[in-house]
Structure 1
Amino acid sequence: MARYVLLLNRGSGGNDRGLDANEVSNSVEKIFREAGHHIRSVLVSPGALDAALQEAISTTPDGIIVAGGDGTASAAARRLGGSLVALGILPMGTFNLAARDLGVPLEMEEAARFLAAAEPLPVDVLEVNGHACLCTTILGFYPQFADTFERRDHGGRWWKKSLRLVTGLPRYFSEARPIDLSWRGDEQGTARTKFSAFVPGRYKASAGIVPARTEFQSGTFTGYVGTQRNAAAAMRGMFDYIFGRQEKNPELILFKASKLELLGGKKRDTVVMLDGEILRMSFPIRLEIKPGHLKVLTTPENIADEKEDKT
């Protein structure tokens, strides 16, 4: 019998869409117990998540299930990385990128059944100035743009936010100030950029507006540094991404690394989006992949490398 703790973030976006915290915890407990596991639930306010994680870890469970969005998952990964305690993600956020990447269904009961039957498997984690990144770290115009509409529509539907991104991109891209970005370490280079993303593993070359990753155990991360100068070029880049052609875009610098240091020219700091959380980080920003640093509840096929299309 495996032992689990369910930590349910009361402040996650899913609560704004009608998901009742008590009903979710009761449903998850029932499903895990029917699968032969022991589980207890803790309802957590956003400011108390770190303390709740510490307390849960001290009881040495086999796994901790966090119910929340990508920020909640990232905070849990920071605590659980390097330990024997597995992380399970119950998606209650807006985009739920980490859950999608690991194959967790987005419907609550289906997600609970998936996690109750999953196994703990190691995946890489990207460390960014001491923060754990499971999905993506973004610099440039997008973090400030996302922060604006998140304040207006916390927890809203992911497709509405994606549509708002597409329609609002020309204006926000045009108004954004570029960063004179340079990087050194495994790779070296410079670019004047309004959008850069750093992803543990890499993005799949597949169509869709919600990003998906592959190479969970490669020991590398991928840098995507955009050199687009105007909104029209940015829109072309956006559509290349939507149709899975981002790696062929001539205005996108791609490279793989295991360790890098980012500098921002004359900028001392910048706004960063790390797994959905908006942070201000000082330069230099240090990125380092931690191979197999975190155990997650999933299945082997969900973290298998994407097959390259030879056609």
Structure 2
Amino acid sequence: MTGSEKTARLNGTTISVLLNDQSGKKDAGPNADDIETAFQRLGHAVRVVPFDPNRALEDTIADLLRDDPETIVAAGGDGTISGVAQALLGKQCHFGILPRGTFNYFARSLGIPQDLDGAAQIIAQGQTRPLRIAMLNGQTFLNNANLGLYPQILRSREDIYDFWGRSRAAAYWSALKVLFQWPKPLVITIRADAEEKTLRTPMIFVLNNAFQLRQMGMEGADCIEEGRLAMLIAPDQGRLGMLKSAVAMLMGRAARHRDFHLLCATDFEVRAQRRNLLVARDGERCRMTGPFHFALSDDTLQTLVPTDPKGDVR
């Protein structure tokens, strides 16, 4: 995704930070005092608001916006960041990111440092970049949205995280565990721009993050760089075939046509025989009723990014 960029000028107003201290590994990541200290070193006051799991995120953001802050910062993993992005989409308020998750694909795709001091400096001294965000039935996703097997993997992952703690190894093990159980594939019809096809598949990924695809060693990054979405479709090849494909993906050796099929389009519509499905957006699960429409947002997100990004971003 591309867009014009301008240097951000933060004044003395308070920067509001929404902190999800449940993101990332146990007992890891900056706490409220760490965040306040980091911004004080940069000459900025900051208001840290803890994430309340018992309150709608939209309501918390609405309260923050009533104070008319210049910048609202999401301190958490990709799921938390995606939720804050949903509330700020189309608004002039700057959007800052303090990565605190396991993978942090969105922050890494923008060249935002993973350490607190480096990320805080981007918020204080970086530039704004208007980003078009992907949507699934009107709900944002920054990296990917999924149907089929993957939301079941996320459900297993949370159980494993509760026992072993958050880590990439635990995330990979949860995927293999669910693959051994092998739920029934979906029967779906996909409309990609003007073309339509019906097929069976255990899993669909729709991505809007070229960086994540490259990290996975898979094709499709060029689709995103050209302003489209990339849809990866797992072939219906049985449990053994899916296990081989999963191992290939984990090792960065997945091959198109063998381990996945690729479609590129500005928008997708997916219709399934089962209309109500468990879906995932940036690692957060919920149930949605189809048809499932994937598209880029019309509005933009005024995101704070480095003034001199290193390498390819998004």
TM (norm. structure 2) is 0.82
RMSD value, Cα: 3.2
Change (3 A) 1:301 1:263: farther
* 8 A contact 1:228–1:251 mirrored in 2: no
Change (3 A) 1:306 1:122: closer
- Tell me, in whole angstroms, the C-alpha distance in 2 between the residues paired with 1:143 and 1:24: 33
- Tell me, in whole angstroms, the C-alpha distance in 2 between the residues paired with 1:201 and 1:134: 7
- Tell me, in whole angstroms, the C-alpha distance in 2 between the residues paired with 1:12 and 1:22: 13
* 8 A contact 1:169–1:235 mirrored in 2: no
Which residue is 2:119 aligned to?
Answer: 111
* 8 A contact 1:184–1:260 mirrored in 2: yes
* 8 A contact 1:222–1:256 mirrored in 2: yes
- Tell me, in whole angstroms, the C-alpha distance in 1 between the residues paired with 2:224 and 2:232: 17
Q: CA deviation at 1:292?
A: 6.3
Change (3 A) 1:75 1:23: same
- Identity of paired residues, percent? 24
1:156 corresponds to which of 159, 165, 181 = 165
- Tell me, in whole angstroms, the C-alpha distance in 2 between the residues paired with 1:93 and 1:201: 17
1:60 corresponds to which of 52, 58, 68 = 68
- Range with greater deviation from structure 2 (136-145 or 42-51): 42-51
User: Do residues 179 (structure 1) and 179 (structure 2) align?
Assistant: no
Change (3 A) 1:306 1:16: closer
* 8 A contact 2:93–2:302 mirrored in 1: yes
Which residue is 2:87 aligned to?
Answer: 79
Change (3 A) 1:214 1:6: farther
Change (3 A) 1:149 1:204: closer
Q: CA deviation at 1:46?
A: 2.6
Unpaired runs of at least 5, structure 1: none
- Tell me, in whole angstroms, the C-alpha distance in 1 between the residues paired with 2:99 and 2:289: 31
* 8 A contact 1:123–1:216 mirrored in 2: no
* 8 A contact 1:84–1:295 mirrored in 2: yes
- Range with greater deviation from structure 2 (222-231 or 269-278): 222-231
2:206 is paired with a residue whose SS is strand
1:111 is paired with a residue whose SS is helix
Which residue is 2:49 aligned to?
Answer: 42
Superposition pairs for residues 130-149 of structure 1, below 5 Å? Answer: 130-149=138-157
* 8 A contact 1:124–1:216 mirrored in 2: no
Change (3 A) 1:19 1:69: same
Q: CA deviation at 1:80?
A: 0.8
Which residue is 2:33 aligned to?
Answer: 23
Q: CA deviation at 1:108?
A: 2.3
- Tell me, in whole angstroms, the C-alpha distance in 2 between the residues paired with 1:88 and 1:104: 10
- Tell me, in whole angstroms, the C-alpha distance in 2 between the residues paired with 1:205 and 1:66: 23
User: Do residues 12 (structure 1) and 44 (structure 2) align?
Assistant: no
Which residue is 2:305 aligned to?
Answer: 298
- Tell me, in whole angstroms, the C-alpha distance in 2 between the residues paired with 1:89 and 1:210: 26
One-letter code aligned to 2:73: I
User: Do residues 289 (structure 1) and 267 (structure 2) align?
Assistant: no
Aligned length: 301
2:102 is paired with a residue whose SS is coil
One-letter code aligned to 1:114: I
TM-superposition CA deviations, 1:75-103 (whole Å, max 9, x none)? 11111111112211212223222222222
2:235 corresponds to which of 216, 227, 252 = 227
TM-superposition CA deviations, 1:273-292 (whole Å, max 9, x none)? 11110111111111111266
